[in-house]
Structure 1
């Protein structure tokens, strides 16, 4: 989930998800003294933007998937901020992007360990709610980043960009590449991923516009953020739809796997591919002509803002209420939107002209 321009904030680095896990109530765990109300979140209106920043906090990052390059970059951005603010950082998580039970287990464990705050990228919109509510009841501040859970199961959500911007711009990119006509497909992550589904809804809405009357969406396939499955899904799409002109893959794992397949096939340069990817993953495919252009935001900025939000919640500087201001150091100053959402900015488009300017 971004309000200064990304490119301006990073100077030259930029780079997307919403979905989380359903779970059991956290067992054990002593209630911290900082627990406030029944939901565990600070009471609206009690925040003091001038309160001192607390140090010595324990801040945990729980990504959708550890050892995923995108989340490694995001979480390292969080680590830099947490340690720079004088607190302790750790990352926990599963090696699978669809292990919702595993995410629930980690939330329960962190609650028992009395972590001060958790920053989580949810695998499923509702699956983590019970565990996260128990965490907040025990005084743990909860921030979601990249992929949200239900709004009452966290205090702040740091969004990669607006779902509408991401959905519509990916269609616009592909439409330009295929000359505004032909069959296209979408290669998504998990079928339950809220961010993916929100983007796809806006893609479909964009395709209803008159200028796309000659473009037909033939299928939405799911690779579950698994490289091998995404590769196979790409192969399957091209076998099922031999006239396919383009693929949108709004997932960093999916777009890389699709590019790998296309690069070694007769479809290279003929079937266009765009979506959300990291420059380091996609550089070779842009340079060899497999991919013309794709987009993303900088995941390190996303993780950094999530870390600032977690510390600010624990310090009482924000509560998650609409209209509050989050001061995020050199990343910028952000106003919390409706339901506690922070949006850093619009995605950046990467192509052969600019891709070497970025390193993530």
Structure 2
């Protein structure tokens, strides 16, 4: 089902595969936040920016993912480390134990401040709770890049977004809708309640459902906090509490895998459709078994690379994060921040039985 006047299609997105893996991305909270004011600490002094400057060597770039031990954030970290070390600088990573632990991210930022890093790259667990400590880091002269999930624009320099929130909301509703004949009760299995990226995608899912998918009814949203056991339990609860459920969207790699793992051995396989955002390596067995027909994502490693090059460029004085000041991510492409310092990487890629073996991440 396609909205009037919209020319997007699953086939078109899949055809953009090469572009998506070369320059891929999420519009978490950045596009919906208030614009930055002139006196925000994230605004660099224009005269200090030299686009012709070289990337400095010997910088220290700190990465703060949402949690430790996540396959998704491990891939993003590897991409970040690849970029940082290739440019002659030092990569450090500090991760909280749980994706629901904003206090752990605050502690990680404080530790990196004490260490005196040149830039911090963070996937923000909360758009608001992290702002005070990030503003303190900005006041120290540390550059701040958010990736995957944004904070408020005045609390960072650049947000590197996987794809637009609207595209991600639409593609997930469309994938599920096609499987259930665009009719019936559906639910969402999200990550944390405070996750700005998840909440933005869900808002656009609701918009899509109201606009052109009136035969589908969103009956519940559950939160698994990107914990496999909790996500599995929440998925089971959704099925138990909604006996007429036709499908579930899980816009989180941890949630989608946990739900697929339960569904694959349950009597609901073939009765409840499941889709969302996942990595090919995680989801391959569930696609092969027919548990999941299709899902979408971007390349997490390249997301980390682009975020790292944004941080290196900021810390080298090549850019300030201001709209229109472009930077080069070696081997990936040229990126130009738009309004509020948002860099959008590209279209999501749809994976299914025909192409899931073509990818290794």
Q: TM-score, normalised by structure 1?
A: 0.90
CA 1:284–1:67: 2 relative to 1, 3 Å: same
Shift of 1:214: 1.4
Q: Judging changes above 3 Å, is the alpha-carbon distance between structure 1 residues 342 and 123 closer, same or farther for their aligned structure 2 residues? A: same
1:231-282 deviation per Cα after TM superposition (whole angstroms, max 9, x unaligned): 0111111111111110000000100111011111111122110000011110
State the distance in 1 between where 2:271 and 2:109 align.
45
Aligned to 2:130: 128
TM-aligned CA distance change 1:11 to 1:249, over 3 Å: closer
Structure 1 residues 6, 120: closer, same or farther in 2, change over 3 A? farther
Asked if 1 retains the 8 angstrom alpha-carbon contact of 2:323 and 2:340, the reply is: yes
State the match for 1:343 in structure 2. 344
1:7 corresponds to: 17
Secondary structure of the residue aligned to 1:65 is coil
1:186 to 185, 188, 205: 188
- Structure 1: unaligned runs, 5 residues or longer: 20-36
Contact kept in structure 1, 2:25 and 2:164, CA below 8 Å: no
- TM superposition shift of 1:351: 0.3
Partner of 1:60: 62
- Residue 251 in structure 1 maps to residue 261 in structure 2: no
Between the aligned partners of 2:18 and 2:350, the Cα distance in structure 1 is: 14
Cα distance 1:38–1:354, how it changes in 2: closer, same or farther (>3 A)? closer
Distance, in Å, in 1 between the alignment partners of 2:43 and 2:71 is: 31
Aligned to 1:267: 268
Do the aligned partners of residues 75 and 6 (structure 1) sit closer, same or farther apart at CA in structure 2, a change above 3 Å counting? farther
Query: Which of 199, 206, 209 matches 1:207?
Result: 209
Whole-angstrom distance in 2 between the partners of 1:182 and 1:161: 28
The alpha carbon displacement at 1:11 in A equals 6.4
CA distance in 2, matches of 1:39, 1:13: 29
What secondary structure sits across from 1:50 in the alignment?
coil
Alpha-carbon RMSD: 2.0
Matched, 1:290 2:291: yes
CA distance in 1: counterparts of 2:332 and 2:83, whole angstroms: 10
2:303 counterpart of 1:302: yes
Residue 16 of structure 1 and its aligned partner are, at CA, apart by 5.9
Instruction: Decide whether the 8 Å contact of 2:20 with 2:346 is kept in 1.
Output: no
In the aligned structure 1, how far is the partner of 2:278 from the partner of 2:115? 35
Query: Any idea what the Cα deviations from partners look like across 1:268-302, whole Å, max 9, x if unmatched?
Result: 12211000001111000000000000000001111
Indicate the residue corresponding to 2:139 in structure 1.
Answer: 137
Contact 1:17 1:196 survives alignment (8 Å): no
Partner of 1:73: 75
Matches of 1:78 and 1:172 in 2, distance apart?
32
Specify the alignment match of 1:166 in structure 2: 168
Distance 1:45 1:356, change over 3 A: farther
Matched residue, 2:98: 96
Counterpart Cα distance in 1 of 2:72 and 2:25: 9
Q: What is the Cα deviation at residue 109 of structure 1?
A: 1.3
**Contact preservation (8 Å) 2:248, 2:272:** yes
Distance change in 2, residues 1:198/1:10 (3 Å): closer
TM-aligned CA deviation for residue 68 of structure 1:
0.3
> Residue by residue, what CA displacement relative to the aligned partner does 1:175-227 show, whole Å, maximum 9, x if unpaired?
001111111000111111111111000000000124x2211111111111111
Q: 1:215 to 1:315 in 2, by over 3 A?
A: same
SS in 1 for 2:154: helix
SS at 2:146's partner residue?
strand
Q: State the match for 1:106 in structure 2.
A: 108
Give the aligned partner of residue 89 of structure 2.
Answer: 87
**Aligned in 2, Cα 1:329/1:115: closer, same or farther, shift over 3 Å?**
same
TM-score (normalised: structure 2): 0.90
SS at match of 2:331: helix
User: Contact 1:16/1:299 (CA < 8 Å) preserved in 2?
Assistant: no
Whole-angstrom distance in 2 between the partners of 1:184 and 1:126: 30
How far apart in 1 are the matches of 2:218 and 2:20? 35
Q: For the Cα contact (< 8 Å) 1:185–1:220, is it kept in 2?
A: yes
